[in-house]
Structures are given as C-alpha cells and as structure tokens.
Amino acid sequence: MRAMVLEQAREPLRPTDLPVPEPGPGQVAIEVRACAVCRTDLHIVDGELAEPKLPLVLGHQIAGRVTGGGERFEAGQRVGVPWLGFTDGTCRYCRSARENLCDEARFTGYDIDGGYAEHVVADERYCFPLPDGYDDVQVAPLLCAGLIGYRTLKLAGDAERLGIYGFGAAASIIAQVAVHQGRRVFAFTRADDEEAQRFALELGAEWAGGSLGPPPEELDAALIFAPVGPLVPAALKAVAKGGTVVCGGIHMSDIPAMPYELLWGERVLRSVANLTRADAEQFLELAPRVPVRTQVETFPLEEANEALDRLRAGNLRGSAVLLL
C-alpha cells in the first residue's frame, strides 16, 4: 500500500510501499478515505514531541471504511480513528474517568501507525461510527481539531464571554459550537491577519482583533489554540476575576515570566491533554446538531509534506485533509 513515512524527525516524509497491516485480536482493519493533518503531526515531524515510534505513519484524524477484523463494526461501515488509540483501563486515571491521562496510553500516528496510508489497523474500542451528513473529507477534521477543541471548550465551564486565541482548524470548529451554545465569541489572531479575522466573524464571532491587544470587554474564559507561549499572559490579562485560560495544544513555546498579579483574583490556567472516549461520543453527537461545518483544503497523500509546510507557514484556512 502507499504510505508516507517519517523515518527521522526534521526530515520530510518519504513515499513508501508498505505491506497492508493485518488486524490482530480486537483490532479492526480500515481502508483510509481521508486523513486530516493536525498541528501535532507538525510537532512530531519538527522533533518537538520527542518520542514517536520510528519509522512512523502519522495521522490521527482518520475517516475510512471497515474491511474486516474485530466484532464491533460491520464490513463497509464508516468509522473514525482519533488520537487516543489505547489505554490500560486499570491505572488510577482510567479508574477515575480520566483515561486521557492514562499512564500507559498509546496514541494513533505517534505510538501506533496512523492514517497517512491507504490502510490502517486500530483497536476497535477506540474507533467511532461517524455522523451522517458529512462526507469523509468534511468529517476528518472533527476527529482531533473537533474533539480536542470540544474538550478545551468544556474545561472553560459555562463562560459566556469566550476568547479564542489562534484561529485555525480547532478554533473554527469550536467557535461554531460556542455560538450554538449561546456564548459570545471574541477571536484573537495575529494583528495583521485580516483574512483570519474576517473568517472568525463569518463563523459568528462578534469581534475579531489582534491577540496581544486588549479585548473590547473583559472575557470570562479564553481558549488558546496557537502554540505561542506569550499568548498565556495576554489571555490572563484579558480574563475577568475568576476566569479560566485553557491551553488546547500539546506543545507550546515557552511562557514568558509574568507578574503574579495576572493570575491573582482566582484566575485559573490549565492545559488540555488528549481526549476521552466520552468526549468523542458527546462531540460526534453534537456536531451535526449545531451543525458544525468544516473548511478544508485537500491534498493527495503524496503531497503530505506540502500540507505540513502550509500548516507550518500558517497559510491554511481551516484544515488540510489528505485524500486517499
């Protein structure tokens, strides 16, 4: 089968002919139709997440059709494969409904070969039926940008005035959910990125502007999706007393030293790590009711390096999706 393989960090993915993987016990075999590119993929390629299996097939936003294996799905059924690929079910985190923090967790496209390939095998317990009303390309970004974005939003509690920093794939999905929930959305982008600001306003944000400037009014919570540490003090400064700042990415540049005053007033700063299966079930049920629309740009599998370069350069609107 055709696959794009990472052999070493900081090197381009290499087109490779791999054997079609065979499903083991409890695994389902999937023919990949579409796989969305995530910023995490970029962090892996760039060596910022240091311990991937190598060689590695990236890709953890997989939409495909079951071809065999397992007991949970019928052949031909459409399923999605997200980042969370395995948990032990027994550690203190798994036993307290926090399998996203599992000590033994394994991740698709990091510890396990992912969807930058024509076929993939996955533990069937971590696969999900995909909602109708989306084609494979449109649904793929829901599997990480959507799921992790949704968990980030949940950790902001019931905040009414919501700031969203970094208006890429996750933000564009979660802004739609937040507006649907009756929240007021304020979008923060690079000061000169008028196109992103226009995009945010189209999706229902009531204000869009530069991320280091003040918001037009105090926020109750802020979600940070850009991997930029200096946004942390900026967002803390923008939230009201008791407000929460949630960092939704797996990696961020260093956070600059800041005065305690920015955290004072019972402000909360926290990160989001991974997802639970319950997050996925809730979000995939909610998305078609909003309905969340994804904006995508498609690339053939062989152009995965170009897709990653465009994401790195920040000139993608919405998600890059590899078409198989």
Which positions lie near Zn ion, rule CB under 5 A? 38, 40, 87-88, 91, 94, 102, 144
Residue closer to Zn ion by CB (options 102, 120) is: 102
Q: Could you tell me the smallest distance in angstroms from the CB atom of residue 239 to Zn ion?
A: 25
Spatial CA neighbour of 99 closest among 278, 283, 281: 278
**Do residues 296 and 319 touch, judged by C-beta distance below 8 A?**
yes
Q: Please identify, using beta-carbon distances, which residue of 62 and 262 lies nearer to Zn ion.
A: 62
Q: CB 75 → Zn ion: shortest distance, Å?
A: 28
Q: Rounded to the nearest 5°, which phi and psi values hold at 27?
A: -105, 150
CB neighbours of residue 35 within 10 Å: 34
The smaller minimum CB distance to Zn ion, of residues 101 and 263, is found at 101
**CB 103, min distance to Zn ion, A:** 6
State the minimum distance, in angstroms, from the CB of residue 246 to Zn ion. Answer: 16
CB of 304 to Zn ion, least distance (A): 15
105 in Cβ contact with 99 (< 8 Å): yes
Q: What number of other Cβ atoms are within 10 A of residue 166's Cβ?
A: 24
Closer by beta carbon to Zn ion, 81 or else 159 = 81
In this structure, the chain runs to a length of: 324
Q: Taking the complex as a whole, how short is the minimal distance between the CB of residue 87 and Zn ion, in angstroms? A: 5
CA distance 105 to 253: 24
| Beta strand 56-57 pairing with 2-6 | antiparallel
Measured distance CA(74)–CA(96) in Å, rounded = 31
Other residues' Cβ atoms within 10 Å of the Cβ of residue 157: 13
Closer to Zn ion by CB, 58 or 231: give it: 58
Spatial contact of 294 and 138, defined as CB atoms under 8 Å apart? yes
67 vs 305 by CB, closer to Zn ion: 305
Q: In this structure, what token pair is assigned to residue 113?
A: 């070969």
State the Cα–Cα distance between residues 86 and 223, nearest whole angstrom: 27
Residue 88 or residue 194: which is nearer to Zn ion going by CB?
88
In the complex, minimum distance from the CB of residue 93 to Zn ion, in angstroms, rounded to a whole number: 5
The Cα 231–Cα 221 span in angstroms is 13
